[in-house]
Chains A and B, each alone.
Chain A
Amino acid sequence: MRRAAPALAAVALALGAATASAQMGHDGHGMDDAPAAGVSMSASAYAPGGVDVLVGDTVRWSNDSVRVHTVSAEDGTWSSARIVVNETYSHRFDDAGSVPYYCKLHVFMRGVVNVRRILLDAPREPGAPGRAYVLHGRTALPAGTPVTIEADAGAGFQPAAETTVDADGTFATDVVPQTTATYRAVSGSETSTAAQLLVLDRRLAASGRTRGGKVTVSATVAPASPGATVVLQLRIKQRFGWWPVARAKVDKHSRVSFSLRLAHRYPARVVLTLADGATQLALSRTLRVGPR
């Protein structure tokens, strides 16, 4: 499937995975750069203890404790100096494989960096049964390389979608889940970590009220999904279909209310979407709103 914007390389960034540093050396102590992953050091632990990054990515450790720590490879090939409170240390990983590390000052503190050639971003929101859901990933493989998205809903991994690597090293494609399943990206002998996509059969109840030109459309999402994104759409002839006119997040009671002024009467509906405001997860019934 085609991707929106090869030059707009930041889809992954917007989804929470920062782009990698290209220049960070083995001791980037205190330097300010864009890491692909961040690890916090508390008094006695690295958090998270394990991170997945791509070949060429940089990881940044931040000392958020009052203790002094180090970040030191178990095989002795690299190590930070002493990292005091509020300081950071960055290291770039150029070879695939698992890299265990520890703190020389508190040897019980252990962590691991899993350096891969392909990564699949973990879905951040639930999908809906039978509705397309876009999965994103990054890879160190060349542009144009085929990538297969495999799904395991309990009977082992099976191919679910195909795509190719874009010029910026990202890939994206839709899958159409029927139930909660685990997904992974595969290309040749390279396999990403698996990520679960939770599938919920959510429903939207909507009602509309028109007084003069003022229209109020209210909706409730069930089961409760506080913070979920909902979009009010009108079917407008000049827009050749359903057109988003307002976007909001449902409140803690899973409710939302839209107010707008309309000069004409339109079919209207409320759509539960991913945070992109476009990928549909559930639809309300179609209302008719606006002055007669």
Chain B
Amino acid sequence: MRRDPTPARSLRTRLSFDERELQSRRNFFGITDDDLARLARLEPFAHKHMDDVVEEFYALLLGHPETKRFFPDDATVRRVKRLQREYFVALFAGRCDLEYVENRLRVGAVHEQIGMAPRWYIGAYRKYLSQLIERMTGDLGHADATAAYESALKLVMFDMSLAIDAYIAANLETLGRHQAAIRELSTPVIKVQDRILLLPLIGAIDSQRAQQVMETVLLRVIEEKAKVMIIDIAGVPVVDTKVADHLMKTTAAMRLVGAQTILTGISAQVARTIIQLGVDISSMHTLARLQDGIELALSMLGLQILPAKEPNP
């Protein structure tokens, strides 16, 4: 089944589209009450043409292979045609308030959801405008038709701006969700042994991630009552001054909550870089191999790993 489209109200709130934004945008698009009244007077016109406008409109979309795939079956086509008729008639409802905005935002959100790119509906709006001018000049006198078209053009452009706003917002949200997922995966703190935690860092570390690493390890240290945190940086491709600085800050913060930090996975390359950069990390316990780090951590707790059977001397 289809997912429910994003609730339009919350979408509007998230875009902070309020009464003031509405007024400001209406001003910019030049939508006056006269325009709305003029469109409202054309409601009979809208009802008269709604069916053939929508038919022609879908003839365009269904005639193009790339847009046709959005309408896989007849039921879908029937449903979207009905929605399209509502959309068309709403242009001539003579209103342009927050409820109208919510309605239009939903259009963009739904398009993002089904993966229809803005280029298609911008092209489709073009079709709308062509149809409008053709029918308006046919039905109305020249002066009236020009005025009516002008008003409709403003509202259609306004709609388009909303659809694109919603499209971008929905897109950013998807991106945000992915980033959150990546963030969660970026600080996997593992319990090695009672009171010893391990954080294998993999991938580049930027300031944001470093900040998050610090907060996560601090929280986990308190939760687990850990005494030692091993940070393994074998998977970090570049260790520069910034990364080193972040690691030292994390070590300092860990000390404040009463835990020690051991840094392992320092390759020859990284060791060289750190010294060449002149970074002083002598305040940290550093080791090449994770195994040595675990042994050091155990010894800090007064423990050690012994062979299961004592070898004979």
Chain B associates with chain A: no
Q: Footprint of B on A, CB under 8 Å?
A: none
